[in-house]
Amino acid sequence: MNRPVPSVTEMRRAYRRKDASYDGVFFLAVRTTGIFCRPSCTARTPLPQNVEFFPTPKEALFAGYRPCKRCRPMEAVGRPPEWVGALLSLIERDPAARWTDAMLRKEGVEPSRARRFFVKNYGMTFQAYCRGRRLGSSFEQIRKGVDLDDVALGYGFGSHSGFRDAFRRTFGAPPGRSRTGAAVVCAWIESPFGPLVAASTGKGICLLEFTDRRMLDHQFSRLRRHFRCAIVPGEDRHIAQLRKELGEYFDGTRTRFTVPLEFPGSPFEQKVWNALREIPAGTTVSYQDVARNIGRPSASRAVGRANGMNRIAIVIPCHRVINADGELGGYGGGVWRKKRLLELEKGARG
């Protein structure tokens, strides 16, 4: 899904130095202002704890951030044509506006031309960009307690049903449930091996995956089906604890996680995942070893399938399972990450 980004340390160094060579490589968003920028932005340097990183403007946009007016991060692939810059300025002047083909033509822009340019340069259609600006802003307003009627009508939706349908398609639940109802909250966590997405049910962590994993959409679909609730951006105490423990893990000072987990699955999958949690850091076992440990010595292939369906990377350490011949085998986050994780654990001090 998402392209890899440099390590957090490297990105922090880049934006502190306002290094233009990193423009387009990653984007930083500032929680206290709700704005995202490119690394070379000349605005005041934010505190590290207030910054999160995104690989593309699209991810930052749909996380509820708006483009910086100073560094214009939507122009990260070189300064866009004048007509695109003018269009972006108009949208930022009124993010709630609902742009139509007629409005584009009034500005002298053919709708098909806008769609092609936005798809090629920003990875989304022009209408998707506008929808992202509206929905991202509306979601933030809902979480702040703004009345749903005001949000629905104030962000360019002609009716409550239209707003609810658009919100559901983007966030997985109608807006009324996003404030008080049950929800799985998800957040980005930076790591030296690329960004991760974490999700929590309130009872424990239910997902931790590298954001470029191909099965990520499928994993989110399984979570929605199981928990029957929205998956929305947010933070809770379990994600905060996970963020802290992962930091210690990547620093080499933690070898075992204590954050609560919730990992629904079949009885067989649960047996496999619990067995994985018992593999000590710095060691590896084979699929056959896991099968024997759960009392199913002939089920090594089924163990491999369950291993691949693990939704909580690193904490449920499926990367510690290798082939019987000593080869690393596959890994959802990429074999290179599996190798790096094992190397990290062998040198850990915790």
Residue range 249-270, pLDDT digits in tens? 999 999 999 999 999 889 999 9
Three-state DSSP state, 232: strand
Beta strands in the chain (DSSP E): 27-30, 35-37, 51-54, 66-67, 183-189, 196-200, 205-210, 230-233, 285-286, 321-322
The per-residue pLDDT for 231 is 66
Give the closest residue to 279 by CA, choosing from 250, 315, 317: 317
Catalytic residue among 41, 68, 71, 318: 318
Catalytic residue among 37, 68, 71, 186: 37
Q: What is the pTM of this model?
A: 0.53
Q: How many CB atoms lie within 10 A of CB 110?
A: 12
Tokens of 339: 């190798």
The per-residue pLDDT for 148 is 54
The per-residue pLDDT for 151 is 58
Distance (Å, rounded) from C-alpha 232 to C-alpha 11? 26
* Cα separation values, 5 from 10, 11, 114, 123, Å: 10, 8, 28, 17
Q: Which residues does the chain have with pLDDT short of 70?
A: 1-4, 62-64, 75-80, 120-124, 132-183, 212-217, 229-234, 349-350
* Cα separation values, 235 from 91, 187, 231, 238, 240, Å: 29, 6, 12, 8, 7
Three-state DSSP state, 348: coil
The per-residue pLDDT for 59 is 76
State the burial class of residue 200 (Cβ atoms within 10 Å of its Cβ: 0-12, 13-18, 19+).
Answer: buried
Determine the distance from the C-alpha atom of residue 259 to the mean position of all C-alpha atoms in its chain, rounded to a whole number. Answer: 20
**Domains of the chain and CATH, by start:** 8-130 (3.40.10.10), 133-178 (no CATH), 183-250 (3.30.160), 267-346 (1.10.10.10)
The amino acid that residue 322 corresponds to is I
Q: How many CA atoms lie within 13 A of 212 on its CB side?
A: 16
Asked if 341 and 316 count as a contact pair (C-beta separation under 8 A), the reply is no
The per-residue pLDDT for 257 is 96
Give the closest residue to 4 by CA, choosing from 329, 334, 250, 340: 334
Name every residue whose Cβ is closer than 8 Å to that of residue 160 and which is 6 or more positions away in sequence.
Answer: 148, 149, 152
Asked if 260 and 277 count as a contact pair (C-beta separation under 8 A), the reply is no
37 a catalytic residue? yes
Asked if 28 and 52 count as a contact pair (C-beta separation under 8 A), the reply is yes
The per-residue pLDDT for 214 is 65
